[in-house]
Amino acid sequence: MKNFDIPIIYRSPLISAIKSRRKQQDKMKKDFTPTLLDLGNLQVYLARHFGFCYGVENAIEISFRTIEENPGRPIFLLSEMIHNPQVNADLQARGVRFLQDTHGQQIIPFESLQSDDIVIIPAFGTTLEIEEKLRRTGIHTERYNTTCPFVEKVWNRSAQIAQKKYTIVVHGKPGHEETRATFSHAAAETPTVVVRDMAEAQQLAEFITGARLPESFYTVFKGQHSPGFDVKKDLTRIGVVNQTTMLASDTQAIADFLRQTMIDTYGLTPATTENHFADTRDTLCYATLDNQSAINGLLSIPADLAIIVGGYNSSNTSHLVELCEEKMPTYFISGEEKILSAGEILHYNFHAKKEEKTAGWLPGPSPVAAAPAPIAAPLASAFAEPAPITAPARILISSGASCPDALVEAVIRKLAGYYGAAESLDAMVAAFEA
């Protein structure tokens, strides 16, 4: 696989060395057991796969190269490059301006663009309507299009089954940039509808079987279907594709459910199933599958808690959190600065869409602030470092596909500091690099 030239600030000597060694030991990527960092009382287990995927590294390389090659020239990003606050902030610090927010709301009007401006298409891709707007302005995006190849794979598969007169069912979050782009490309070829989850797939099935009146479809799926959608005609032949960052198991479950719905409704046999249902399982993203499989391997380890690092609006990261939450206390953080102390952590509750502060999050007696030193005591004693935590802890760590490895190492280093294991971690880095 191609090696990308991305800024060194996103790299981690520790993580790079671990990933390199695991790759040498398991070239076919069939071993999903985690990597143990044994730091004495602190044992950190790293997921087998995590961090930047092919599409993200490709997008970052193109974006930073574009900045370097075009000094002083106006450069715009259609929206967030990826769902990671550090990467987006770094691009903005270098003069890149966003035309839209992550929800598609306009920040800078397209009408203000000039034909010689540069507009970078993010890794999520974009809609055909926006591409046409940019084209009418005279802006050519081909050179600066960072759309992930695996997103394009979904578009291509959609086009293939559209030619066979199937309706496309997109499993995705309706407001997500990638789903909006996939919906646009699919709807240009064939009737298309978006289902958010299994509950919506079950509602769709009721229209397929005729259990619900067709007229109510337009209320249930308002804003999630293509113009002119004909419930009676367009739900007789369907195929399922997905937003590539959804839970792969959820997409497969939805596809299996809708496939069985078609079999039951039309009395199909294995030989005739394709008359009403297209096989599209090959649209699942390899990185999504690997990272989620690695989480399952990670969760085979008995542990006290899990930490997932990534952008709070990152779909693939939130699904990793979701998997871990089923097994143990899980803390979703965007970086090491969210670890306020050994006694408190600021983490994101993606269900409630807000940050929360939790006390006593590390196992065992967490250090507390020392009582004020007597006036007569030496000044240095008033500012003494808290004693290392002696209670043993097992912590599982992973990150989303848009999270720099440097952020994961920073989290590990902060934890190591609480356990008096900073020197042990440095020795481990040297050993991995040897």
pLDDT tens-digit readout, 281-318: 767 778 888 999 999 999 999 999 999 999 999 999 99
Q: How far apart are CA 370 and CA 18, in angstroms?
A: 38
178 is a catalytic site residue: yes
Give the pLDDT mean for 99-116.
94
pLDDT tens-digit readout, 192-248: 999 999 999 999 999 999 999 999 999 999 999 999 999 999 999 999 999 998 988
Q: How far apart are CA 215 and CA 243, in angstroms?
A: 27
Q: Token pair of 72, please?
A: 């002083």
> What per-residue confidence (pLDDT) applies to 136?
93
385 confidence band (pLDDT: 50, 70, 90): low
Q: How far apart are CA 292 and CA 287, in angstroms?
A: 8
Indicate if 149-284 has the same CATH topology as 54-144: no
431 confidence band (pLDDT: 50, 70, 90): confident
CATH of region 149-284: 3.40.1010.20
CATH of region 54-144: 3.40.50.11270
- Out of 178, 200, 322, 336, the active site residue is 178
Q: Locate tokens 């008359």: which residue?
A: 275
From residue 406, alpha-carbon distances to 41, 44, 215, 310 in Å are 23, 16, 52, 11
CATH of 8-52+287-367+388-433, one of 3.40.50.150, 3.20.20.70, 3.40.1010.20, 3.40.47.10: 3.40.1010.20
From residue 415, alpha-carbon distances to 20, 227, 336, 390 in Å are 23, 53, 9, 13
CA 96, distance to chain mean position in Å, is 22
**Model confidence at 35: pLDDT above 80:** yes
**Model confidence at 51: pLDDT above 80:** yes
**Model confidence at 331: pLDDT above 70:** yes
> What per-residue confidence (pLDDT) applies to 384?
55
Domain ranges of the chain: 8-52+287-367+388-433, 54-144, 149-284
